Amino acid sequence: MTQTFLVTGAAGFIGSHSVEWLLAHNHRVVGVDNLRTGHLENLEVARSSPDFEWMLADVCDEAAMRELFKKHRFAGVLHLAALVSVPESFREPALNYQLNLAAADCIARLCLEFECKRLVFASSAAVYGAHAALPNQESAIPQPQSPYAAAKLAAEVMLLGYAASYGLETICLRYFNVYGSRQDPGSPYSGVLSIFTDRFQCGLPVTVYGDGEQTRDFISVRDVARANGEALTQMQVVADRYNVCTGRGISLNQVLAIYQELFPNAPSVEYAAPRIGDIRHSQGNPEKLHNILILKSQTPFEQGLRELVVGGLGR
């Protein structure tokens, strides 16, 4: 039987890829977004499918969301809509609370009210903070260092509390550094690879803050979309928190070496003082989720980056 899933933040970077994964696996999808940071063009492929329904709405509008839950019997919800910029969460703590915590609570209560069994929540590696042992393990004591990370962790705790209290299957996925097409390079807080790709393609110099030896666990959005899809649809994934990462730490200097191969005439890289608050190393342990998913293979970083550069940011 075809099932219908709700995806919030559907017009965003991860949302649009996740919608496409679900449609490709013969599910029906209702995508909600208020286009705060997302773009309708990201849903061009999805909107050509008869199995996709688009709705421009704010997830904090409980009445509108209730109507949606009433209309569709959702088999599950993928909740991605969020205030996604860490610096913005410092400037706007009340909005951060609303978008990153209250909205998750609203969606979870609607799931309970309308007997939607499963809620997959977009959490973040940011919950670990700067001092957790590497690779980050889900069992580590989280030490959020921003309002953004604090709200993501609070939402995890609340949703897992609903799992224990009411049996709602809440699956909290802690994404590490996601890269791929449709990541908006326009904001200075965007993923570093979308900014690098944009600048190399325009022949502009890139600036690295620090010595470039800082590492990140970069994961392709294709693998994240698949993890989201499987977390929504595979019964063996049980309520808990899971890292979504590769387990491999790659330094910015290693990343730059690949770009320099692809753009041999690019201007030389500029190194600037490290930014306050930047984490030196980030690397997760992917085993917990890998042990239960069907598809374990992942996009190798070098391949994913080349595809991004060749295919372009907007595809």
Question: Rule CB under 6 A: which residues touch ligand NAD?
Answer: 8-9, 11-15, 32-38, 58-60, 80-82, 84, 99, 103, 122, 124, 175, 177-178, 191
Which residue from 7, 240, 34 is spatially nearest to 139, judged by alpha carbons?
A: 240
Q: How would you label 156-184 residue by residue, b for 16+ Cβ within 10 Å and e otherwise?
A: bebbbebbeeeebbbbbbbbbbbbbbbbb
Cβ nearer to ligand NAD, comparing 124 with 197: 124
Q: How far apart are CA 212 and CA 53, in angstroms?
A: 43
Closest contact distance (angstroms) between CB of 80 and ligand NAD is 4
Residue 85 beta carbon to ligand NAD: minimum distance, rounded to whole angstroms: 8
On whether the CB atoms of residues 111 and 170 are closer than 8 A, the answer is no
- The smaller minimum CB distance to ligand NAD, of residues 169 and 184, is found at 184
ω into 135 cis (within 30 of 0): yes
Q: For the CB of residue 203, give the shortest distance to ligand NAD in the complex, in Å.
A: 26
Shorter beta-carbon distance to ligand NAD: residue 84 or 237: 84
Write the single-letter amino acid at 113. Answer: E
Question: Residue 312 phi/psi, 5° resolution?
Answer: 95, 160
Quote the least distance from Cβ 81 to ligand NAD, whole Å.
Answer: 3
Smaller CB distance to ligand NAD: residue 168 or 191? 191
What's the min distance (Å) between Cβ of 142 and ligand NAD? 14
Is the Cβ of residue 104 or residue 266 nearer to ligand NAD in the bound state? 104
Q: What's the start-to-end Cα distance of the chain, in Å?
A: 31
Secondary structure (3-state) at 296: coil
- Selection from 101, 112, 234 nearest residue 162 by Cα: 112
By beta-carbon proximity to ligand NAD, the closer residue of 80 and 289 is 80
Distance CA 173, CA 242 (A): 5
Q: In sequence order, what are the residues at sequence separation of 6 or more whose Cβ sits closer than 8 angstroms to the Cβ of residue 28?
A: 2, 3, 4, 5, 51, 52, 53
- Closer residue to ligand NAD in complex, CB, 80/305: 80
Nearest approach, Cβ of 197 to ligand NAD (angstroms)? Answer: 14
How far apart are CB 243 and ligand NAD at their closest, in Å?
11
| Residue 107 to residue 98: CA distance in whole angstroms | 12
DSSP string for residues in 131-144: SSPSSB-TTSPP--
Q: Least distance in Å: CB of 186 to ligand NAD?
A: 11
The residue among 14 and 30 lying less far from ligand NAD, judged by its C-beta, is 14
Q: What is the DSSP string of 153-207?
A: HHHHHHHHHHHHHH--EEEEEEE-EEE-TT--TTSTTS-HHHHHHHHHHTT---E
